[in-house]
Amino acid sequence: MTESTRASELTMGKALGAGLRRAMRDDERVLVMGEDIGRLGGVFRITDGLLDEFGSDRVVDTPLAESGIVGTAVGLAYRGYRPVVEIQFDGFVYPAFDQIVCQVAKLQYRTQGRVKMPITIRIPWAGGVGAAEHHSESPEAYFVHTAGLRVVAVSHPQDAYTMLRQAIACDDPVVFFEPKRLYHAKGPVDLDGDIADAPPMGVARVVRPGEDVTILTYGAQVTTALDAAIAAEDEGVSLEVIDLRSLSPVDYRTITASVRKTGRVVVTHEAAREGGVGAELIASVTERCFPYLEAAPLRVTGHDIPYPPAKLEKHHLPDLDRLLDAVDRVRDVPRAGAGVVA
């Protein structure tokens, strides 16, 4: 992403707020709803100031009930509104699961396209912030497996700003993951661009080109991957880091091009491994690139455990060392100790 002359330096949190404000100005059918998003501006302050600008008709503090929030958003969408729902933390989306899976995802199909569900479900997401139980979940695979939903994850302020506007403008429901760990990370944001000119939501981005190994990742883990690429470079290994941006659909064109070049793939995400997004990526990459693969694609993920207590989360999160270990293994370089995958 190139810094434009008009770009301001914003945190991801501020960029998201700016994206919401812009979307609400552009389309009066957009409204935001959730717990504590009004006067408080949300527990992460993403919606700060929106109540004052748009009033309580469009910035709706709801009762404390996630199924109710998503279910009433469905009704508002029936009525032609474009609700942007904030789920306060990743771990609180499950009470709304039925409404998301059976209603939000299926209504367009159920009505043969007559009823659209342009609902954006924003989820402050994943770990690494030392939080209490249920505040560090990575539930993205559940939504990826749910036909009818689009799922995206952002990794820096410009994408946060642009992709949130694109998600809101999209006529399909979008589950929008915001890595909490990056809320305070700053970056340049062009606030004036037209969302139609920006890369579409569904397109992956090669954030760092490389030759030896393709790293597929998304969200805050992009940062870890970039760190790994720098560390690997010191050892003379060139990593190509791809930020998926869209988890459903996945941009296999970009991925395939990379894998055909490198022949080696490591997928990394925070979510548990079993049935995670990494499984889908490896299965699809293997189906699409088998003749080009020089080694089995590997996964570096959270363990298959409930999210551990904060002081132990660093042993759960796939860190630089574990990523580099996998890079060694995918390159068939033996290393002290055995590998993670048996």
Partner 1 sequence: MTYTPTTQERSSVDLDLPAQLLTPEGERISDERLDRWAADLDTDSLRTLYRDMAVARRVDAEGVALQRQGQLGLWAPAQGQEAVQIGTARACRADDFLFTSYRELGVLLVREAAPADLVLTWRGEALSTIDPYALHVAPPQIIIGAQTLHAVGYAMGIQRDRSDQVAVAYFGDGATSQGDVNEAMVFAASFGAPVVFVCSNNHWAISEPVSVQAAVPLAARAPGFGIPSLRVDGNDVIASTAAMRWALDHARSGGGPVFLEAVTYRMGPHTTSDDPTRYRSAEELEIWRARDPLLRLERHLTAVGAFDEGFRAEIDAVAGEFTSRMRAAAINAVTRPAIEVLDDVYAQPHAGIDEQRAAFASYLAGFAPDEGGSR
- What amino acid positions are annotated as catalytic residues? 135
Helix-strand-coil split of the chain, %, nearest 5: 40, 20, 40
Pick between residue 211 and residue 304 the one whose CB is nearest to a copy of itself.
304
Instruction: Let me know: does 160 contact 136? Beta carbons within 8 Å.
Output: no
Query: Among candidates 210, 212, 241, 236, which has minimal Cα distance to 224?
Result: 241
| 92 forms part of the interface with ligand TPP (CB under 6 A) | yes
Q: Which does 296 bind (CB under 5 to 8 A by kind): partner 1, a copy of itself, ligand TPP, none?
A: a copy of itself
For the chain, strand residue ranges (E) read 8-11, 30-34, 59-61, 82-86, 120-125, 150-153, 174-179, 186-189, 205-208, 213-217, 239-243, 246-248, 265-272, 298-302
Q: Which does 263 bind (CB under 5 to 8 A by kind): ligand TPP, partner 1, a copy of itself, none?
A: none
| 35 forms part of the interface with partner 1 (CB under 8 A) | yes
Q: In DSSP terms, which residues pair with 189 in a beta bridge?
A: 8
The footprint of a copy of itself on residues 57-76 (CB under 8 A) is: 67
| 338 forms part of the interface with ligand TPP (CB under 6 A) | no
CA-to-CA dists, residue 9 to 5, 30, 150, 158, 179, angstroms: 11, 26, 29, 10, 18
| x/- letters, 6..45, toward ligand TPP (CB under 6 A) | -----------------------------x----------
Count of residues interacting with ligand TPP (CB under 6 A) = 6
**Burial class of residue 5 in the structure, from the number of CB atoms within 10 Å of its CB (0-12 exposed, 13-18 middle, 19+ buried):** exposed
Considering the complex, what minimum distance in angstroms separates the CB of residue 64 from ligand TPP? 5
| x/- letters, 214..253, toward partner 1 (CB under 8 A) | ----------------------------------xxxxxx
| 53 forms part of the interface with partner 1 (CB under 8 A) | no
State whether the Cα torsion 223-163-107-30 is positive or negative. Answer: positive
Rounded CA-CA distance 173/290 in Å is 33
| 94 forms part of the interface with a copy of itself (CB under 8 A) | yes
Q: In DSSP terms, which residues pair with 10 in a beta bridge?
A: 187
**DSSP reduced 3-state for 85:** strand
| x/- letters, 311..330, toward partner 1 (CB under 8 A) | xxx-xx-----x--x-----
Considering the complex, what minimum distance in angstroms separates the CB of residue 214 from partner 1? 19
**What is the total residue count of the chain?**
342
Site residues for a copy of itself per CB under 8 A: 67, 91, 94-95, 97-98, 101-102, 105-106, 109-110, 133-134, 141-142, 144-145, 147-148, 248, 271-272, 274-284, 286-288, 290, 293, 295-299, 303-306, 341
Site residues for ligand TPP per CB under 6 A: 35, 64, 66, 88, 92, 95
